[in-house]
Structure 1
């Protein structure tokens, strides 16, 4: 079974976007393991807003991956490698895709999609790139999670920039 890995940049105060939706606080001075991560994945789960942002800013970013966009409002996928998934068949389709042959699947986000995956126990690993910045406000990584979820640390890597990558699994 393929792993679904939440790989996301997060501020020290757990925001994934600044107050105006900006990502200018995310470091891009090093690779931070992204090249190897991209090679390990052949598909991406992404929410509509994140997908539309990528299509506006860097439409070729995920050209080598199968892109699954979760949306009940998007109708034109804009590319051959894109499939739109509706909320009505969310869990069944995710399980079906996860059971297909292939490499890992990147859970890109946004926050509402992450919440749905957590609530349905569909995340295999969490790879959090914690940036040494406090944003004070913005879009938090975890919204509407009302129960404790225990994690097991698989590893941590510190970079010269001060960024720390934490790899977790959800404790069984």
Structure 2
């Protein structure tokens, strides 16, 4: 299986709290819901839909797992609840314990890179990472992420947690495809090229899941 990131980001790289005002207020972030005004953009819906309907499941960090599944499962008549519950979910955490609260969830802990590498050797379609900034920043230097589908919004926030932080690279990406939607969002598909060299065993993976 490949591992593919699907995320919304601003022009200045912020990925924090795109969906709603209370989604992620860490560090006093007050701009939550910045992507919601373009929620009706059909091109974005189609791009995400094509990927997620053929997905083999989700690879998520603890915070995203608890927030996304908690929000959708506690929202009455939510159309995404059954699809999310039925999909396989691999949850990276060194603090959670089994059994996990949502159906079809598997806990990955301990040697996370080895566990993720084993998942990649499993036959199937793509596994998708949504949100999960700490997880992305830990796996990318090890060459474990195959592709990024980023919805880049025409917006600068000037504050917030960013997808690519200091110390992330250097990693060179190849642009595989790009589309501009009617609302000015650029849907871009990037692939790391060439793959970064595997990190040493004592690499600090920042496992703050």
Partner of 2:104: 81
Q: Structure 1 or 2: larger strand share?
A: 1
1:20 and 1:54, CA in 2 relative to 1: closer, same or farther beyond 3 A? same
Pick one of 68, 79, 82 that aligns with 2:90. 68
Moved over 2 A (4+): 18-23, 143-147
Partner of 2:64: 50
* Conserved 8 A contact 1:46-1:67: yes
Q: How does 1:6-155 map to 2 (within 5 A)?
A: 6-18=5-17, 20=29, 23-26=32-35, 27-31=38-42, 32=44, 33-59=47-73, 60=81, 62-75=84-97, 76-86=99-109, 88-155=110-177
What TM-score, normalized by structure 2, do the two folds share? 0.75
* 1:168 and 2:190 correspond: yes
Deviation at 1:147, TM superposition (A): 3.4
Is there any run of 5+ residues in structure 1 with no aligned partner, and where? none
Larger displacement relative to structure 2 (126-135 or 21-30): 21-30
* Conserved 8 A contact 1:115-1:145: no
User: Of the two, which has the highest radius of gyration?
Assistant: 2
1:22 and 1:98, CA in 2 relative to 1: closer, same or farther beyond 3 A? farther
The alignment of Structure 1 onto Structure 2 pairs a total of residues equal to 170
Partner of 2:204: none
Root-mean-square deviation (Å): 1.7
Deviation at 1:104, TM superposition (A): 0.6
Is there any run of 5+ residues in structure 2 with no aligned partner, and where? 18-27, 74-80, 195-209
